[in-house]
Amino acid sequence: MDYINLSKEISYALRHAPWKYELEIDEAGFVQISQLLSSINEEEKYPKEIELPDILYVMKISDKKRLEIVGEKIRALYGHSIPMHIKKEESIPPVILYHGTAKRFLPSIKEKGLLPMNRQYVHLSTDIETATTVGKRRDKEPVILKIDVKSALKEGIKFYIGNEKVWLCDRIPPELVKLN
């Protein structure tokens, strides 16, 4: 059983394509687990029927906390790109947040700041290690950018919780983005 593929498919469905899976998604990003399961099982692409314990196993072995289950529902905690805006809980993050990215994006980031690009929010990390992992997806030697959260809060920028290591915001203007 390919649990990595199942994990990717669940994230894809919840973050990017709930309509392809005929999922009703609420404003916090939750869908009924039963809906998700029946839709995934319709494809018959896995060697067995996918059940709740398979999803729980995917969550358990995952390197990142991407999913959350509350009662009968499941959601992706971050990463959404769907047109419907997913509301996240606003909160006060640690005083410094990091963003790992590719060197080639720096000129544009210096000019325009950090933008959500294809997602709904800019994703920030609480520690350099996490930011490095994020940046390595796009560059073997990523750059780590640092955001002074106090200054950002003074500018009226709001931060939202993704998970313990991932924070979200709408954008960070260039003057608040520093090289680490």
Stretch that binds ligand HQG, among 40-48, 67-75, 82-90, 105-113 (CB under 6 A): 105-113
Q: Which two structure tokens, joined as six digits, stand for 2?
A: 């390919």
Stretch that binds ligand HQG, among 26-34, 48-56, 112-120, 153-161 (CB under 6 A): 112-120
Minimum distance from residue 166 beta carbon to ligand HQG (Å)? 5
CA 156 vs CA 91, 137, 149: distances in Å: 13, 30, 10
109 binds ligand HQG, rule: CB under 6 A: yes
119 binds ligand HQG, rule: CB under 6 A: yes
Give the helix, strand, coil percentages of the chain, each rounded to 5.
35, 20, 40
123 binds ligand HQG, rule: CB under 6 A: yes
Give the residue with the Cβ less far from ligand HQG, 25 or 122: 122
What letter would DSSP give residue 114? B
- Which 57-86 residues touch ligand HQG, going by CB under 6 A? 64, 66, 79
117 binds ligand HQG, rule: CB under 6 A: yes
Task: Name, in order, each residue with C-beta under 8 angstroms of 45's C-beta and a sequence gap of 6 or more.
Answer: none
- Which 134-163 residues touch ligand HQG, going by CB under 6 A? 134, 138
Position 10, amino acid: I
Residue with tokens 């931060």: 159
Q: Which one of residues 84, 115, 155, 164 is an interface residue with ligand HQG (CB under 6 A)?
A: 115
| DSSP H/E element including 36 | helix 33-42
- Cα separation of 153 and 105, whole Å? 25
Task: Name, in order, each residue with C-beta under 8 angstroms of 137's C-beta and a sequence gap of 6 or more.
Answer: none
16 binds ligand HQG, rule: CB under 6 A: no
Q: Where along the sequence are the contacts to ligand HQG (CB under 6 A)?
A: 64, 66, 79, 101-102, 105, 108-109, 112, 114-115, 117-119, 123, 134, 138, 166
